[in-house]
Amino acid sequence: MSAASKAKRRNPNLEVLAFERTPHVSYSACGIPYYVADLVREASELVTITPEQFREQRGIEVFTRHEAVRVSPIKRKVTVVDLDTGRERAFDYDRLLIAVGGKPRRPEIPGADLPNVFTVQTLQDGMRIRRFVDEQRPRRAVIVGGGYIGMEMAEAFRRRDLETTVVEKTDQILPGFERTVVEQVESELDSHQVRRLTGCEVNEIRQPEEATEPELAVTLSNGETVPAELVLFCIGLTPNVQLAVEAGVHLGVTGAIAVNRKLQTNVANVYAAGDCVQVKNLVSGEADYVPLGPTANKQGRVAGENVAGGTAVFSGVVGTSVFKVFELEVARTGLSLERARTAGFDADAVTITAPSKAGYYPGAEPLTVAVIFDRRGGRLLGAQMVGREGVSKRIDAFAVALMNRLTLEEAAYLDLSYAPPFAPVWDPVLVAIHAARGKLGR
Kindly state the average pLDDT of the residues 411-422. 96
Average pLDDT, the chain: 96
pLDDT above 90 coverage of the chain, percent: 98
Tell me what pLDDT residue 378 has: 96
Tell me what pLDDT residue 441 has: 82
CA dist 437 → 273, 350, 378, 380, 385 (Å): 38, 9, 8, 10, 18
Read off the pTM. 0.94
pLDDT above 70 coverage of the chain, percent: 99
Kindly state the average pLDDT of the residues 311-324. 97
Q: Is residue 347 within 8 Å of 439, Cβ to Cβ? A: no
Q: Is residue 219 within 8 Å of 126, Cβ to Cβ? A: no
Is 70 exceeded by the pLDDT of residue 68? yes
Is 80 exceeded by the pLDDT of residue 211? no
**Helices and strands in the chain: count of H runs, count of E runs:** 12, 24
Q: How confident is the model at residue 213 (pLDDT cuts 50, 70, 90)?
A: low
Query: Which H or E run contains 402?
Result: helix 394-403
The reply to whether CATH 3.30.390.30 applies to domain 331-439 is yes
User: What confidence tens digit (pLDDT) does each residue in 28-47 have?
Assistant: 999 999 999 999 999 999 99
106-233 fold? FAD/NAD(P)-binding domain (3.50.50)
Tell me what pLDDT residue 442 has: 78
Tell me what pLDDT residue 214 has: 80
C-alpha to C-alpha distance for 10 and 141, rounded to whole angstroms: 48
C-alpha to C-alpha distance for 101 and 21, rounded to whole angstroms: 12
Which of 30, 200, 234, 276 is the catalytic position?
A: 30
Q: How confident is the model at residue 209 (pLDDT cuts 50, 70, 90)?
A: confident
Query: Which H or E run contains 290?
Result: none
Tell me what pLDDT residue 385 has: 98
Is 90 exceeded by the pLDDT of residue 210? no
Task: Spell out the alpha helix ranges (H) of 116-178.
Answer: 123-136, 148-159
Q: Enumerate the CATH 3.30.390.30 domain ranges in the chain, comma separated.
A: 331-439
Tell me what pLDDT residue 167 has: 98
Tell me what pLDDT residue 74 has: 96
Q: Which CATH superfamily is domain 2-21+65-102+237-307 in?
A: FAD/NAD(P)-binding domain (3.50.50.60)
C-alpha to C-alpha distance for 227 and 268, rounded to whole angstroms: 53
Tell me what pLDDT residue 208 has: 83
Q: Enumerate the CATH 3.50.50.60 domain ranges in the chain, comma separated.
A: 2-21+65-102+237-307, 106-233
The question of whether 276 is a catalytic residue gets the answer no
User: What confidence tens digit (pLDDT) does each residue in 83-142 have?
Assistant: 999 999 999 999 999 999 999 999 999 999 999 999 999 999 999 999 999 999 999 999
Kindly state the average pLDDT of the residues 52-78. 97
User: What confidence tens digit (pLDDT) does each residue in 348-375 have?
Assistant: 999 999 999 999 999 999 999 999 999 9
C-alpha to C-alpha distance for 279 and 11, rounded to whole angstroms: 27
C-alpha to C-alpha distance for 172 and 146, rounded to whole angstroms: 8
Q: How confident is the model at residue 158 (pLDDT cuts 50, 70, 90)?
A: very high
